[in-house]
Amino acid sequence: MSEDLYQGSQKRNFMGHPAGIYICFLTEMWERFSYYGMRALLILYLTKYHLFGAEKASMIYGAFVGLVYMMPIIGGYLSDRYLGSRKAVTYGAILLVLGHGLMAFHGSAAYMDGGVVVRDELYLKVFFLALALIITGVGFLKANITTIVGALYGPKDPRRDSGFTIFYLGLNFGAFVSMLIVGYVGETYGWNYGFSIAGIGMFCGLLVFLWGQKLLDGHAEPRNPALLKEKAIWGINKENAIYLGGIVMVITSWLLMQYQELVGMLLGFSGFFMIGIIVLYGFIKCSKVERERLMVVCFLIVVQAVFWALFEQQGASLTLLADQQFDKNLFGWQVKASQVQTMNTLFVVLLAPLMAWLWVALGKRNMEPSTPVKFGLSLIIIGAGYIIFSYGMGLDDSTSKNFLWLVFLYLSLSLAELFLSPVGLSIVTKMSMPKIVGMVMGTWFLFMAVGNYLAGIISSLAGGAEHGETSAQLDVAATMDIYTFVGTVSIGVGIFIFLMTPLLKKAMHGVH
């Protein structure tokens, strides 16, 4: 086996993979436990506790999940340039513990007084602060924990895609358990109890990462430790200045969460600005091969936004549909609306090992589809899922819809996810220059943010204005029309990727 093949971690191996992958697995598992548990409750909490209408709640949701995936561009840059992934992940985890902890404290529930909603405005400020801490914490943790996974494997290591699938399995396992527990406790016993459990999960993730850092074999350290000790401002060294900058990011996020419309403009501008920076870097600093690979990465980064706009309906309009339109009695057990989202993670946990085996088996026979083909298939699968779901809902005129339609849609979402997300994470680390891999990974998450914000807009259109600004009731017919339209767009983009595949493969220069 050549040295070029294994440029990653060679010191410790466990079950055929670097031991550090399991620390990343557990850290991300607990981080996603906290995030997805909170996310499962969020839109229900906004509509039932604070009495926001479906349209406004969807915009708050879209702004939140959009900012959650925007902040890694900053966290990725600071990690690449100064902190290193280990310090960035640790700082992010601390902010997340604080944010999830603050979610457990809330004021009085909103109520109607003469047709006007009366809300606890002070607590709403605290609530937005909790979301801001979570947003910034994810910014420091999310891109950098993924970068560590990439660093544990050499660029041509055949275990690489399998390793990312293992990592992705941990992510989804944490999300699955969380939505079962946090969703049930939050809806049954009180929102604050559900949010508290999510916070405890994040604290466990912080402890695991602090304990297991030695197993990363030095792959997550600062590039230039001496640089962190240099003075920055007011006599503070650069490392502490970055931590103070994190507090500024929290304050900025807190303000943006209260003006959701600004988030969309910020995301759109930031997304294409960062693509421009990467393209410029490719022309100034890279060889022809490196530059063309970066162009392919940029293309895949942009088109994935379509996938996330459809995928993230889970926490928005699909949760409201599950709450309002479906018979959720399964074998005598009444499923909570927030728990319906566990179907995605359940399907991913079941299918991920099969997909990991499939890619390796096909690769040995030189039959594995290229990354662009996988992206195209993902968009076609998820688009077709929404179109068939909408058609089925139109056939079912009962007041309590058949739960199997939701099962089918979630299966489609999960299969499409496995064709795109872990494969995309792998290709970004594989085809990016080491000096900017964190920034490129951050841009991947930034366009996830664009897709997530678009998901909020799609969901808000489903909420509509006809039911009133304080009503959480969805317009089902309008929702199905919207689903059919966005599903058709997704299929169209998938076909376009197929047509572009020969050109993209040529520009990848042998990277599969």
Give yes or no for residue 5 having a pLDDT over 60. no
pLDDT class of 66 with cuts at 50, 70, 90: very high
What percent of the chain clears pLDDT 90, i.e. is strictly above it? 44
What are the tens digits of pLDDT across the range 194-207?
Answer: 999 999 999 999 99
- How many residues belong to the chain? 512
What Å distances lie between residue 253 and 8, 54, 75, 392, 511, CA to CA? 36, 22, 14, 40, 38
Across the range 336-345, mean pLDDT stands at 88
pLDDT class of 468 with cuts at 50, 70, 90: very low
Across the range 474-484, mean pLDDT stands at 87
What are the tens digits of pLDDT across the range 286-307?
Answer: 888 889 999 999 999 999 999 9
Across the range 119-146, mean pLDDT stands at 91
Give 124 or 464, the one with higher predicted confidence.
124
Q: What angle do CA 328, 331, 335 make, to 5 degrees?
A: 30
Mind giving me the DSSP string for 256-283? HHTSHHHHHHHHHHHHHHHHHHHHHHHH
Q: How far apart are CA 272 and CA 176, in angstroms?
A: 33
Pairing outcome for strands 231-233 and 236-237: antiparallel
What Å distances lie between residue 296 and 184, 303, 304, CA to CA? 43, 11, 12
- Phi and psi angles of residue 333, each rounded to the nearest 5 degrees, phi first: -105, 125
What are the tens digits of pLDDT across the range 356-406?
Answer: 788 888 888 888 888 999 999 999 999 999 999 999 888 777 666 788 889
Give 441 or 29, the one with higher predicted confidence.
29
Weakest mean pLDDT among 166-170, 419-423, 465-469? 465-469
Q: What is the DSSP letter of 224?
A: -
Q: How far apart are CA 213 and CA 308, in angstroms?
A: 32
Give yes or no for residue 167 having a pLDDT over 60. yes
Give yes or no for residue 222 having a pLDDT over 80. no
DSSP tally for the chain: helices H, then strands E: 17, 8
Q: How far apart are CA 154 and CA 199, in angstroms?
A: 35
Across the range 208-224, mean pLDDT stands at 82
Which of the residue ranges 35-44, 139-148, 159-168, 334-343 has the most confident prediction, judged by mean pLDDT?
35-44
What are the tens digits of pLDDT across the range 72-85?
Answer: 888 888 888 888 88
Question: H or E element: which one contains 112?
Answer: strand 111-113
Q: Which of 52, 76, 89, 67 is nearest to 425 (CA)?
A: 76
The confidence score (pLDDT) of residue 1 equals 38
How far, in whole angstroms, is CA 363 from its chain's centroid?
28
Q: Do the beta carbons of residue 178 and residue 328 sit within 8 Å? A: no
What predicted TM-score, i.e. pTM, was given to this entire model? 0.85
The confidence score (pLDDT) of residue 13 equals 61
pLDDT class of 2 with cuts at 50, 70, 90: very low
Give 425 or 277, the one with higher predicted confidence.
277
What are the tens digits of pLDDT across the range 229-272?
Answer: 777 777 788 888 889 999 999 999 999 999 998 999 999 998 89
Q: Do the beta carbons of residue 233 and residue 245 sit within 8 Å? A: no
The confidence score (pLDDT) of residue 249 equals 96
Ordered by where they begin, the domains of the chain are: 17-508 (1.20.1250.20)
**CA-atom Rg of the chain in angstroms:** 22
